[in-house]
A and B are shown apart, each in its own frame.
Chain A
Amino acid sequence: KNEVEQSPQNLTAQEGEFITINCSYSVGISALHWLQQHPGGGIVSLFMLSSGKKKHGRLIATINIQEKHSSLHITASHPRDSAVYICAVRSGGNKLVFGAGTILRVKS
């Protein structure tokens, strides 16, 4: 079992829908990252969280340290949000351990 589990693996939404991607982890962490990988392949860091909630535009990330769970929300989704969203946790030794990713497709 992977130390970082994401759900769902695949998600198709209609433009405008509210989207939630979940991440659960089983190890002690110092921070959790949400990353976005576009079809072109590049990886962009969206958020880094160690507690609470962060918001950038239509993206919101929350983390519950006690429950070892984080969610990434996208409000008013748009086709340009289509990408792979990856949860990664920073554990001992400062290394990132990645989830398998959630493939999001937003249809217009």
Chain B
Amino acid sequence: DTAVSQTPKYLVTQMGNDKSIKCEQNLGHDTMYWYKQDSKKFLKIMFSYNNKELIINETVPNRFSPKSPDKAHLNLHINSLELGDSAVYFCASSQAQGKVTEAFFGQGTRLTVV
């Protein structure tokens, strides 16, 4: 069984469109994250949610809006897509906010904006 699953794996879309990336974890973890990996393979955190509550919100454009309907899901919605949004987006999860535990990553979603 996949622990952290993201859909879709690939997403090609035109500038100006709105798109969503879904993430689900079946590990019973309390905390979920979105990371962006740029063309130089550098990973940076975007958001962190703990029990559906936004904990970390790094400096990302407000066109990016995370939504957590329950603690097993953290979806990423992007409005008015721009060329610079092209990247690989990784979802991850870990155990409770106050504990230091391993992070489990999804397979990534390669977003290409044309």
The interface size of chain A toward B, counting residues with CB under 8 Å, comes to 25
B79 at the interface (CB under 8 A from A): no
A42 x B102 contact (CB < 8 A): no
Does A43 have its Cβ within 8 Å of any Cβ on chain B? yes
How far does the alpha carbon of A41 sit from the alpha carbon of B108 in the complex, in Å? 7
Within 8 A of A (CB), among B19-74: 31, 33, 35, 40-45, 48, 55-56, 58
- Contact check, A42 vs B108: say whether CB atoms are below 8 A apart: yes
> What secondary structure prevails in chain B residues at the interface with A?
strand
Interface size on B, residues (CB 8 A): 29
Q: Mark A residues whose CB is within 8 Å of B.
A: 30-31, 33, 35, 37, 40-45, 48, 50, 84, 86, 88, 90, 93-98, 100-101
Besides the known contacts A93-B56, A95-B58, A96-B45, 12 further A-B residue pairs in the complex with CB atoms under 8 A apart: A30-B100, A41-B88, A41-B107, A42-B107, A43-B108, A50-B100, A93-B48, A94-B94, A94-B100, A95-B48, A96-B103, A98-B44
